[in-house]
Amino acid sequence: GAGVSQSPRYKVAKRGQDVALRCDPISGHVSLFWYQQALGQGPEFLTYFQNEAQLDKSGLPSDRFFAERPEGSVSTLKIQRTQQEDSAVYLCASSLEGGQGIEQFFGPGTRLTVL
């Protein structure tokens, strides 16, 4: 079956531009996570959705970052007025539920480069 997909795979933005990154989770997965992975580092949590409800956005680094999942399926991570420090790989993951220990399935990521 289809896994988690993300688009675009690569995005180059000029500083100050707005970008939108899309995640298509596995069908039927209730939980959706966004992570940010800087070069040479492990992923860091950004935000969590249970269906359409954003239950945890404690990892969003600034108010320039905004995420939504309006129908409880596809999610979009939007970054306004991009800065060079936003350059990273953005990973989306989904799981059947949000219980502790449940496996998360990761997408291939979107590599964002801000010039």
Partner 1 sequence: GNSVTQMEGPVTLSEEAFLTINCTYTATGYPSLFWYVQYPGEGLQLLLKATKADDKGSNKGFEATYRKETTSFHLEKGSVQVSDSAVYFCALSLRGGYNKLIFGAGTRLAVHP
Please tell me whether residue 53 binds partner 1 under the rule CB under 8 A: no
Q: How far, in Å, CA of 78 to CA of 29, rounded?
A: 21
The residues that bridge with 97 in the sheet, in sequence order, are none
Give backbone dihedrals phi and psi of 24, rounded to 5 degrees, phi first.
Answer: -110, 105
Q: How far, in Å, CA of 56 to CA of 21, rounded?
A: 19
**Nearest distance from C-beta of residue 63 to partner 1, angstroms:** 20
Q: How far, in Å, CA of 107 to CA of 92, rounded?
A: 6
Interface segment toward partner 1; rule CB under 8 A; list 11-19, 63-71, 77-85, 98-106: 98-106
Interface segment toward partner 1; rule CB under 8 A; list 11-19, 51-59, 64-72, 80-88: 51-59
DSSP state letter for 114:
E
Please tell me whether residue 98 binds partner 1 under the rule CB under 8 A: yes
Binding stretches for partner 1 (CB under 8 A) = 3-4, 31, 33, 35, 40-45, 48, 50, 55-56, 59, 91, 93, 95, 98-109
